[in-house]
Amino acid sequence: MEQVNDLASKQCKPYTGGVPPLSQAETDSLMKQLEGWQQSGNLIGKIYRFKNYYQTIAFVNAIAWMAHREDHHPNLAVAYDSCRVEYSTHAINGLSENDFICAAKADALFEL
């Protein structure tokens, strides 16, 4: 079975059309590889907590850098000591492996 580190080491794949969203069984399997993430309909999300605003914004900037490199961008809700990160693949109106790759990369950035 693929581990989180394997997900974090993958690169997102660009969508060229015709790719269906993951099935619920595929989603469930990938969710087991992420810690603390929750599925809500067509998205997965997690709240990261920090000691202060500076650490929160440093994490947000790291997420922005990663999102640019992967060309897969999350929704972010930023507060003084927390950031909620949500992924969904809007092009397919559902979840894709890219969402899970970026979720694993976000977890890896949080651990730095």
Examine residue 7 and state whether it is found in any structural domain, yes or no. no
Domain range enclosing 74: 22-111
Cα–Cα distance between 34 and 59 in angstroms, integer? 18
Q: What is the DSSP letter of 107?
A: H
Look up the CATH number of the domain holding residue 75.
3.30.1360.20
2-41 pLDDT tens trace: 444 588 888 888 876 778 999 999 999 999 999 999 999 9
Residues in the chain: 112
64-78 pLDDT tens trace: 999 999 999 999 999
Examine residue 17 and state whether it is found in any structural domain, yes or no. no
Examine residue 90 and state whether it is found in any structural domain, yes or no. yes
pTM for this entry:
0.90
Examine residue 77 and state whether it is found in any structural domain, yes or no. yes
Examine residue 2 and state whether it is found in any structural domain, yes or no. no
Examine residue 9 and state whether it is found in any structural domain, yes or no. no
Q: What percent of the chain has pLDDT over 70?
A: 95
Give 44: exposed, middle or buried? Use CB within 10 Å, 0-12, 13-18, 19+: buried
**Mean pLDDT, rounded, for 86-90:** 95
35-55 pLDDT tens trace: 999 999 999 999 999 999 999
Number of domains in the chain: 1
**Max intra-chain CA distance, the chain:** 43
Phi then psi dihedrals of residue 22, to 5 deg: -65, 150
